[in-house]
Structure formats: structure tokens, C-alpha cells
A and B are shown apart, each in its own frame.
Chain A
Amino acid sequence: MDTLKLLSAFLKVNIQMSLAYRADTVVNILLNIMWLGWELLSLSIIFNNTETIGGWGFGELIALLGVFRLVHTLMIALIWPNTEKFNQSIRDGSMDYTLLQPINSMFLVTFSRINIWRVWDLVLATVLILVGINITGDTITPLHLLTFILLTISGAIVIYSLWIVLIALTFWFTKFDNNVTILQALLDAGRYPVTVYPVWLRIIVTFIIPVAVATTVPLQALRGDLNISRILMFLAIGIASFLFASRVWKAGLKRYSGASS
């Protein structure tokens, strides 16, 4: 209950913060539409020259773009602003105050900053997913839809957990303030189905920085490409990665000794 109350307080503060920069918000939304235009143009150029890539058609790629944008929003709206604040708090020691709060520090560190106008991106992403499915003309069974939603959530949890691990590493290596760049760098690989990539790249984006688990995999579920054991495995990976990340976070906290002492 406390967590929910806190989350709504964070939302309120962040809405107020973004209202102070209204013109910037408008500019950002315009740029966002521009990039969407570019993404659609680049897909149409690709499909002018071929009917499928990696066995996927145009509609499926549009839907994949939608799922990719969900993860991208997670990155832009939550991961970047909070990481910036976290790195700063490790450098100047203000992490002390965060730890003194009577609330889960992992929650506090990862949710206090939210780039609120990006919520619109979630709407856009949903529209892309629906339009994409519509173009493919496939009939979606409720079961496929359910697994798609579950795997999208569990994929997002995998990315979230990886983020926790990356920033927790800062407790051991204080100078590691590039902690999420590697995640951001490989995120772009989520725009296309991993089946088009050479094996070594597929291994990186599936197992090391598992961007594909949050982008390609949910869509495979929607297409009905995954059997039940695969689905259960990916859901288990989601839960396991979250438990692992909490462990790493707790171990990291023990290493924290403040900046001034």
C-alpha cells in the first residue's frame, strides 16, 4: 500500500516537473513523431525490396516496432533519468539519505524519476501493435494474446533486472558511471527479429544483454511460434532474473560506504 501511495506521489511530482517545461514537451513530442516517421519509412524501404525478413512480414515488423517502443519507453522514461540521479548520488554521497528512508531502497532508486510525457509513447506503441496485427491479417487466439501480454511484462522485468544489476555494479566499481550505455547500445537490435542476425549477435542479444527476450520473444508468442515449455521457460527467466537482481542489489548495498566517509 505504501508503495502505491509513494508511486502516485512520484507521479505527481514528475508531472509538475514536466509542466514547468511545457514548450520542451511539445518539441519532444514532435521529434518523437519525426522518429516514428523515419522508422516507418525505413521499414517500407526494406519491404520494397523483399516480402519477408527472417521469415517475418511487414505487419509483424510493425507490431515488433510497437513492442520495441515499449521497451524503449522503459529505457527513456525510467532507466535513464533514474540512473543519472543514482550515479550522482553515489558520487556526492546523497545515497545516504535514500538509504535512511523506511522503504525498499531498490524501489526508491528506480522509480523516483519518471519522464512523464513519454506515457504517450505507450499509447503509440499499443497502436503500432494493433495496426501491425491487423496488417498481417492473422486471427489471434485469446491464448496467444495472453501469452503475448505475459511475456511482454516478463521481458520488461528482465530488462529492469539487468538494469538493477548494472547500476548495482557501481557499488563495487565507483567509477563505473557508464553503467547503462551497453544496454542502450544493444537495444536497437530489438527493432528487427533476431532470426535475421548472425549467430554470435543472436547469442549476445538473447543471453548476455537479453534485449530479444523483451522484443522478439513476445511477438513469437503472438505468432504462436512458441510451445508451452518455451513460454514457461521465458516466464521463469523473468522471475529468476528479478530475484537475482534483488540479491545483487542487497549485496551491493553492503558494499556501500558513503562518499565522504
Chain B
Amino acid sequence: MFKIFQRFWQVNWAEQWQYRANLLMYLLYWLVSPIIYLAVWTSIANTKGNVNGFTANDFITYYMTLLIVDQITSNIVIHTFAYKIQDGTLSGELIRPVHPMLTNALVNNIAFKGLTIMGLTPIWIILFFLFRPDFSNVALSGILLAIPAMIMGFFIGFLLSAAITALAFWTTRVYSIHEFYYALILLFSGQFVPLTLMPKLIQDIAQFLPFQLLIYFPIQLILGKLSSAQILQGYVMGVIWLVVSIAIFDWIWHHGVKRFSAVGA
């Protein structure tokens, strides 16, 4: 099994490396909105002193951490996989004795991540000197606690995206469904603003949804803002959602593949 993953890694790394210019453009594209939110909220905090207890530095550290966390937990599976179902090229992968989504697509995403993080590092350092965040409250224990949370968040996000991607077995409008899903992420994950500044109703719903596990929970862990009860609650939610997303993905994939009749075959 290890050898299989190693091979997939070599192939996918080489493939992603070939598109490094595209990748840099993607990175730039993805960077802009967190930086805009950062600028908007710090400008408000600076004029008012604080926003509901959040100082300018709280916002700067939040979004600077978000850049890293989001890069680790997000995925691009819809863009690299849905078209394979639509144009039928998936058939070549289906006859292999390994799961196309859980080997090739998964490793492809991780290779993509590796490269974007390489690209992000120098940009992050430049932003660090431009915004001068004060990270003195960050403790090593917080970072160590956040690492398993981010890995868990990545897998929950990957499985849910993979499940949506697999809807391409039924519908051609899978990209529209994914757009809707992305709006849910914006609303409930803490990407736009720390969740505590969202309307009460959204906060209450967000607590039970998986999206905050991808962004808000790891960020708060790193910044050391959570009590041990909250940390425990976050991890419990994480494990529950991991199980649920495995079940959802497995069900959709299983039924989808049965429906699949390759184009042109």
C-alpha cells in the first residue's frame, strides 16, 4: 500500500510542478480576499479602538493564521476530478485495483498543497513585515493541538468535496452545487470574520456544522483562545463529522459508480 502512495506522489508532484505558473496565479487569486477582510476589519478596529473586544492586532493575527490554516485544510478536488466523470476519462482509473478518489485524487491534492505552501511561505513573510502581527500569545501547545485538528479538518473537507464531486455521476450541474457549498463555507467557517462577530443565529448553527472545523477551530487553537472544554467539544465534533463524511462519501460514491457508463464506451 505504501508503495502505491509513493508512486502516486511522484506522478502527481511532477504533474503539479509542471503547472507551477498556474499555481502561483491560483495562490494570488486565493490570497486577495483574506487580505481585503483583514484590511477592512483592522481599519474599523483602528477607528473604534476595538470591535466587540477584537483589537486591530486580533484581526491581523486571525487572518494571518487563516492564510496558513485555509491552505492546509482546503482542497481542489472538484476541479481535478468532476471533469473525469463527465468526459469519461475516469474509466481508465476505475479498472485499476485502487480507489481513484482515495489514492490518486487525494495524493494529487496533497501535492498541490505542498507546492502552494512553498509559494505561500515567502508571501506570508512579506505580509508579516507589512502588517506586523503580534503573535506573542501563541504557545507551542496550541500549535501542537492544532496540527491533528487541521489534518482532521482537511479530511472532513476533502470527503465532503469528494462526495459533492461524485454527484457528477448524476448531474452535469455539479459545479453549481459546489458553488452553493462554497457559500455555506463562507457563511459558517469563519472565513469572512471570526465567528463570534457573526449574527447569533449563524453562530448557533455553525457550532453543529463541519465548516468551522476547517477554519475557525484550528485558528482559535493556534491563537490559544479556547478553554479545555471548548477544545474537547471541537475534537468530539470533529470525530463525529469525520465519521459522517466518510459515510456520506462512501454512499454517494458506491451508488454513483454503478450509474457510471463512460462516454463513448
Contact = CB atoms under 8 A, between A and B. Distances in A.
Contacts of B199: 45, 48
Contacts of A49: 44, 48, 51-52, 197
A34 to B, nearest CB: 6
A134 interface: no
A31 interface: yes
A221 B131 CA distance: 31
Given A178-B21, A178-B22, A34 B51 contact: no
Interface string B146-186: 00000000000000000000000000010010011001001
B4 interface: no
A34 B44 contact: no
A27 interface: yes
A75 B263 CA distance: 33
A53 B44 contact: yes
B32 A196 contact: no
Contact of A54 (B21, B26, B43, B48): B43
A188 B192 CA distance: 13
Contacts of B179: 31
Contacts of A106: none
A45 B197 contact: yes
Contacts of A53: 40, 43-44
Interface string A170-213: 00000100100110111011011000111011000000000000
Main secondary structure of the interface of B (DSSP, over half): helix
Contacts of B32: 185-186, 188-189
Contacts, number: 76
Interface SS of A by simple majority: helix
A184 B29 CA distance: 7
B123 interface: no
Contacts of A260: none
Contacts of A54: 43
Interface string B20-47: 0110011011011101100110011001
A185 B28 contact: yes
Interface string B179-215: 1100100110000110001110000000000000000
A50 B35 contact: no
Q: Most chain-B CB neighbours within 10 Å: which of A48, A49, A182? A: A49
Interface string B211-245: 00000000000000000000000000000000000
A185 B29 contact: yes
B105 to A, nearest CB: 23
Contacts of A201: 35, 39
Given A54-B43, A188-B36, A34 B25 contact: no
Interface string B34-70: 0110011001100110011000000000000000000
A10 to B, nearest CB: 26
B43 A38 contact: no
Given A28-B176, A185-B28, A196-B39, A50 B44 contact: yes
A46 interface: yes
A52 B46 CA distance: 12
B29 A181 contact: yes
B243 to A, nearest CB: 30
Given A31-B179, A196-B40, A38 B187 contact: yes
B29 A27 contact: no
Nearest to A194: B39
Contacts of B26: 181
A38 B183 contact: yes
A49 B26 CA distance: 32
B173 A24 contact: yes
A186 B47 CA distance: 25
What are the nearest 7 A-B pairs in CB distance? Answer: A185-B29, A196-B43, A181-B25, A178-B25, A50-B44, A49-B51, A197-B39
Interface of A: 23-24, 27-28, 31, 34-35, 38, 41-42, 45-46, 48-50, 52-54, 175, 178, 181-182, 184-186, 188-189, 191-192, 196-198, 200-201
10 contacts: A27-B173, A34-B180, A34-B183, A45-B193, A45-B199, A49-B51, A49-B52, A181-B28, A186-B32, A188-B32
Given A45-B192, A178-B21, A185-B31, 15 more contacts: A24-B173, A27-B176, A31-B176, A42-B192, A45-B198, A45-B199, A50-B48, A52-B47, A182-B28, A185-B32, A188-B36, A191-B36, A196-B39, A196-B40, A197-B43
